[in-house]
Every structure is written in structure tokens, then in C-alpha cells.
Amino acid sequence: MAHPLMFTDGDPLLHRVRAIALAFPEAAEKVSHGRPAFFTKKVFCYFGGSQHVDDEWIAHDAAIMVRPDPLDEPALRQDARFWVPAYLGPSGWLGIDLDEATDWREIAELIDASYRVTASKRLIRALDELQPPDIVQ
């Protein structure tokens, strides 16, 4: 059975995340488990997610889930803004909510780090050869 869609395509936060994520070499978008997922061969960013806390499911519909740089992960886990996603958390994924006060440069850096954790060496070289786009507008 297919998952129901858990996003609105016209969501302005999704639009911002999409612009950042699709700027990476060979990045594409698909719907996975009802949510937008950005990937090359592996997913590097999800829009939206959920967490399981004390037998309760908490939806984070305006959020991203990423795989942080392993060197940054311990500090991010200490930051109260980050949460551990259900299912993906044990594999090192973290989530952060988005709103009108979001620092889009920080979000771009988190997505960049996640891309680098999941992408091939060839794609990382291609990324490093690019002039960094001003993806935060």
C-alpha cells in the first residue's frame, strides 16, 4: 500500500529546500514514504519527518532530515533544535524544524554536509569544482 502524501507541493518551505537540494550535482527528487526525498544514488535530504517519543508519534511536517558530518554530529545532538527521526535516527540522521526564523545558510550547510556523507567521490569532486551558488535568497 502506498503512503499518503504528507506535504503540499506549493509549500514555500519545501520550495526553499528544493532549490537548495537540487543545486547539487546529479541531485533529483522523488517521493518516499509520502515525503519529498532528495537523492543521487542515496537519499541525502528528506522534507518532513517524524519522531517516536514515549510511545507517541510526533510529526514534523515543516522540517528536514539529514545525515550530518560525523565530526559535527555530537554537537548537533546536543543542540535542542535537532531531533532524532524515527527509523532513520539509528543510522545517524537528524531532523531540524523550519519556520519563518530559519537560518537558510545553516540549512544549506546541513544539506551540503549530508550530500557529502552520501554522495560518491566523483560527485563530491564535481561539487568542489563548482563555484558555490548563492542558494540562500
More confident residue, 98 or 4: 98
Q: Over range 96-122, report the average pLDDT.
A: 97
Measured CA to CA, the distance from residue 35 to residue 32 in angstroms comes to 5
| Of the candidates 97, 133, 123, the residue with the CA atom closest to the CA atom of residue 28 | 123
In this prediction, residue 133 carries a pLDDT of 55
Band of the pLDDT at 54, cuts 50, 70, 90?
confident
User: Is 28 in contact with 14 (CB distance < 8 Å)?
Assistant: no
Task: Please list, in sequence order, all residues whose beta carbon lies within 8 angstroms of the beta carbon of residue 67, skipping any fewer than 6 positions away.
Answer: 44, 91, 92, 93, 94, 113, 114, 117, 118
Residue with cell 528528506: 46
pLDDT by residue (tens digit) across 3-44? 788 788 899 999 999 999 999 999 999 999 899 999 999 999
Measured CA to CA, the distance from residue 119 to residue 25 in angstroms comes to 9
